[in-house]
Amino acid sequence: MFSRTMTTRSISSYYDSLAQLGRELDTADAIIIGAGAGLSTSAGLSYSGERFHKYFYDFAEKYPIQDMYSGGFYPFDTLEEHWAWWSRHIWINRYMDAPKPVYSQLYELVKNRDYFVLTTNVDHQFQKVGFDKHRLFYTQGDYGLWQCSVPCHNETYDNETAVRKMVAAQGFAFAKDGNLYVPDGIKLKMEVPSELIPYCPHCHKPMSMNLRADDTFVEDMGWYHAAEQYEEFLQNHRNQKVLFLELAVGYNTPSIVKYSFWRMTHDWPDATYACLNYGEAYAPDEIKRKSICVNGDVGEILTALETQ
């Protein structure tokens, strides 16, 4: 009896929160989206399990690597092997479409509204589904960019053509949709030809990923321009009715999205904070009266919002 009552209340609370969120989406003058890694996980871009073993089974057999995240830090003996790993990682997480339409659902929800996206994700899925690149700030980098590993200068370089060559050199083939597959009878190589290894055009040191992993991260002109656009958007809307829509943000780098959203919700007179998260939907007491917390998978929540 107790369990049934609690379940009923939980379901009722869930749909009440969805209805409240729907009203806020409809009436907000601006929507500021803050997206974390869980959004891509909800879209099927998992770094472990079946997806990891499909594309990295040979690396998993040779090395004590159990997921794509940890593999990115593995000290491979050669650059040929390093870039074999990273080219696969880049292609499947940056250039292949996400398995589930979560990003597309989000875009349909906000495309006709005044929005801006702040994200720590580096997989470029927002722009792929149609989000305006002038309304996006990728704070932590982009899988599609390389930089000098030193770095000797503050420029980044598109890598799609080079990565495609690296992946093909390992034995992968490309389907029409860009997905990778291994042709029958092909044994994958775990290295790329030496001539495909990228080097800095200025100092000739090896290139590296444009990811904020340490103090060598390059903030290029595009990064600073996006930061300025975000700051301008905030300044132009701080006295309007604003919805801070936080999607699946964890606590790896909470100051970028979560803590800043909390602070602005507290300080701005007509701001609302919405936290959509699986198991971590929470708002501090100081802004609880201005908050909507929905516990669940973001993709499922967006689907439910579409049917309201």
Do 298 and 102 form a contact (C-beta atoms < 8 A)? Answer: yes
Asked whether residue 293 is marked as a ligand-binding residue, the answer is no
> What is d(CA 122, CA 120) in angstroms, rounded to the nearest whole number?
6
Q: Is 90 helix (H, G, I), strand (E, B) or coil?
A: helix
Place of tokens 């409240």: 20
> What is d(CA 26, CA 23) in angstroms, rounded to the nearest whole number?
5
Omega of the bond leading into 254 within 30 degrees of 0 (cis): no
> What is d(CA 38, CA 247) in angstroms, rounded to the nearest whole number?
8
Residue 110 tokens read as 């906000």
Asked whether residue 203 is marked as a ligand-binding residue, the answer is yes
> What is d(CA 47, CA 71) in angstroms, rounded to the nearest whole number?
10
Residue 14 tokens read as 């869930």
Asked whether residue 148 is marked as a ligand-binding residue, the answer is yes
- The 3-class secondary structure across 7-64, one letter per residue, is HHHHHHHHHHHHHHHHHHHHHCCEEEEEECHHHHHHCCCCCCHHHHHHHHHHHHHHCC
Angle between helices 2-27 and 298-306 (to 10 degrees): 70
- Which residue ranges make up the annotated binding site? 148, 152, 200, 203
- Which residue ranges make up the annotated binding site for Zn(2+)? 148, 152, 200, 203
